[in-house]
Chain A
Amino acid sequence: MAKVRGAIVVDVEKCKGCEVCIPACPTDVIALAKEVNGKGYHYAYMEDPEACIGCTNCAIVCPDGVITVYKVKL
């Protein structure tokens, strides 16, 4: 079976930096970016992309539905 890794895509302009996704991630992939979006919020991004397992926990807890999770074949 091919090895599979997860990857998340964040809708940066919709993210309000509420940090709910950060503790939801079992492998501590997500952090808030140093940069801000158009509204001035620090948005979520993949700080440690290698560790993502594509469990979709972050997408489930996100109150604004800004996170999309993909599975990437290696």
Chain B
Amino acid sequence: MKGNEALAEAAIRAGADAYFGYPITPQSEVIEYLMAEKPTDRTGMVVLQAESEIAAINMVYGAAGAGKKVMTSSSSPGISLKQEGISYIAGAELPCLYANVVRGGPGLGTIQPSQADYFQSTKGGGHGDYRQIVLAPASVQEMADFVRDGFDLAFKYRIPVLILSDGVIGQMMEKVELFDPIPRLTDDEINERYPWATTGKKSGTERRIITSLDLDSHKMEEHNHKLQAKYQEITEKEVRYELIDCDDAEYIYVAYGSSARIAQKAVKLARAKGIKAGLFRLITLFPFPSVKMFEMCGKGIKGFLAVEMSAGQMVEDVHLSVKGCSKVEHFGRYGGIVHTPEEVLEALEQKIIGG
């Protein structure tokens, strides 16, 4: 299955109630697959092509407010358009899942893969003090699994969850083991399980209000405190990463998504040459595994090389985590070019070992 198709199939199986999207290369297969598969017949899931990305994200806002499992997806320029809606969803504390199949930028850029949306994804692309959980799949299998996990996280914390993929993972074909379908929740179940969802006021119940607006600054500050406490809890509990060949490593590659796959090959090449390299693969980009990375510094690590298809975005978080205890450098091709394992190995030799 293609990465995008796996994402779409996983959405149906995860028991999603609705998908609102707008096509953009290299993400179009998601909505194509959903349209062809007719999930209304399979599970009753609604799939709709909105008139624009902005309409799509606001449909997500509305459906999420009603306690529905709802998702959307797009690629870089489309995600930029959606930022306003995402900020509103974060402000109103609603759960939703969206996927970004990143392409080269800035502007319309190119349709080839890139990882240049890291800042937008992890530092908040929209306005206001909000954060979102960012999951970075590195295989088609994870594209499918993270849909289920993403919905779980979104509803656990009432927060937007982003699957930050890229053109490589979205267009790549691999074998996938799909999880068993989870049935959709009925209206009664939603009403019972989510005491915040606007499902229609019945006599004798409190009004449920979904809003991100409060003109009383003191109340707004309190609301922000609550949000920050939630983000702190997520930072403590939901960090995910994978360490590959790191036990005896002296040099560590830090990478996520398709760059992690390339770096993993570079680790093999380095080990064949006698260089003790390892890979720190990030799975959650927010929360960032800072604590683990700082811990590793003291254990004989001589340097970290951040490998990403951007001009140096994730490397800033590596710097902040390492706190100057170790050497940190960046390597990456960008604008739609994907680096080769040989280039990644050469960068380690020149920038970290030689430099």
Contact = CB atoms under 8 A, between A and B. Distances in A.
Nearest to B2: A64
Interface residues of B, number: 8
B172 interface: yes
Contacts of B111: 39-41
B290 interface: no
B178 to A, nearest CB: 19
Interface of A, helix, strand, loop or mixed by DSSP: loop
A16 interface: yes
A40 B167 CA distance: 13
B171 interface: yes
Contact of B25 (A18, A40, A63, A64): A40
Contacts of B172: 63
Nearest to B103: A40
A18 B173 CA distance: 12
Contacts of A40: 25, 111
Interface string A1-38: 00000000000000010100000000000000000000
B28 interface: yes
Interface in B157-187: 171-173
A63 B170 CA distance: 13
Contacts of B25: 39-41
Nearest to B23: A39
B173 A63 contact: yes
Nearest to A64: B173
Nearest to B32: A39
Contacts of B26: 16, 39
A12 to B, nearest CB: 15
Interface in B8-34: 25-26, 28
Interface string A34-57: 000001110000000000000000
Given A63-B173, A64-B2, 13 more contacts: A16-B26, A16-B171, A18-B171, A39-B25, A39-B26, A39-B28, A39-B111, A40-B25, A40-B111, A41-B25, A41-B111, A63-B172, A64-B173
> What are the 3 tightest A-B residue pairs by CB atom distance, in nearest-first order?
A63-B173, A39-B25, A40-B111
Interface of B: 2, 25-26, 28, 111, 171-173
15 contacts: A16-B26, A16-B171, A18-B171, A39-B25, A39-B26, A39-B28, A39-B111, A40-B25, A40-B111, A41-B25, A41-B111, A63-B172, A63-B173, A64-B2, A64-B173
